[in-house]
């Protein structure tokens, strides 16, 4: 076991993963940087005695196991797992093929499950660790054109919330992050796949939505380097937050959703509370 903490970061070759890896290294941590293209990961992160680059397709459980073994062989432990890797399949539900929808769930939900399943035995042996999972405001707030993506992120939220009490007795904590719009690669062709238009009723709305998102790409207000530095700071706390809503736009959206939920509960409170068996 080494004295400094070891971060295991998925999707470390592009987007937010690069910033998180750089921030962890700058803070003095050892980093296992995982990606489907290890050559790209090594290129963007450079060389360091405290850096191990491993190949990892998160949809492959065998690769997850191998990457974790390599991390433990090199550093002896894993203290922080960052489930960051993912993709984005966008489009109206009727135009997203079943295969595309399954692939979205396979990547954004089952991918983190695969990696976490491989890491948890290490953390249980240590009786310590943090599972830090990058979700999205789409994990709390649904919107049109995002049915597959929101389904994957809503699933991620429910899984982490339920996992938390299961692993807490072993000294393992969880933290889920809901970023708003940050200037990352999410809306680039490398990260976003659009459903092919097949239903005429959606054609004009699709054109408008894709044009708006293309115009937003590279113009998002959030700074991913600041986000990464904040994540490192929060992860270093004795009690990291169970949830962290990241970005002013995310805070506004989540507050609005929370108020809507409370209003929906209150609107039918009497009826909802009248459903018990008579005499119960």
Is 135 a known active-site residue?
Answer: yes
CA distance 63 to 48: 23
Residues 25, 193 contacting (CB under 8 angstroms)? no
Which of 5, 22, 29, 135 is flagged as catalytic?
A: 135
Which of 5, 22, 29, 149 is flagged as catalytic?
A: 149
Is 29 a known active-site residue?
Answer: no
Query: For residue 89, what are the β-bridge partners?
Result: 193
Which of 5, 29, 153, 194 is flagged as catalytic?
A: 153
Is 153 a known active-site residue?
Answer: yes
Residues annotated as catalytic (active site), given as ranges: 135, 149, 153
């Amino acid at each position: 076991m080494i004295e400094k903490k070891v971060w295991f970061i998925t999707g470390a070759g592009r987007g937010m993963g690069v910033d998180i890896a750089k921030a962890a290294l700058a803070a003095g941590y050892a980093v296992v940087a995982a990606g489907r293209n290890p050559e790209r990961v090594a290129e963007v992160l450079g060389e360091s005695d405290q850096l191990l680059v491993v190949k990892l397709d998160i949809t492959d459980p065998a690769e997850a196991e191998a990457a974790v073994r390599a991390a433990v062989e090199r550093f002896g432990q894993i203290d922080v797992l960052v489930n960051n890797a993912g993709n984005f399949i966008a489009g109206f539900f009727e135009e997203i093929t079943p295969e595309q929808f399954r692939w979205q769930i396979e990547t954004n939900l089952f991918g983190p499950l695969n990696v976490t399943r491989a890491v948890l035995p290490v953390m249980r042996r240590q009786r310590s660790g943090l599972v830090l999972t990058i979700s999205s405001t789409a994990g709390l707030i649904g919107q049109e054109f995002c049915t597959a993506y929101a389904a994957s992120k809503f699933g991620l939220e429910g899984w982490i919330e339920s996992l938390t009490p299961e692993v807490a007795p072993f000294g393992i904590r969880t933290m889920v992050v809901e970023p708003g719009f940050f200037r990352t690669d999410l809306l680039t062709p490398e990260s976003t796949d659009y459903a092919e238009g097949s239903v005429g009723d959606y054609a004009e709305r699709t054109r408008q939505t894709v044009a708006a998102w293309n115009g937003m790409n590279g113009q998002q207000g959030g700074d991913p380097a600041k986000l990464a530095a904040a994540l490192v700071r929060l992860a270093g706390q004795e009690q990291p937050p169970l949830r962290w809503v990241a970005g002013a736009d995310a805070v506004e959206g989540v507050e609005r959703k929370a108020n809507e939920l409370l209003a929906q509960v209150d609107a039918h409170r009497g009826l909802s509370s009248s459903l018990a068996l008579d005499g119960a």
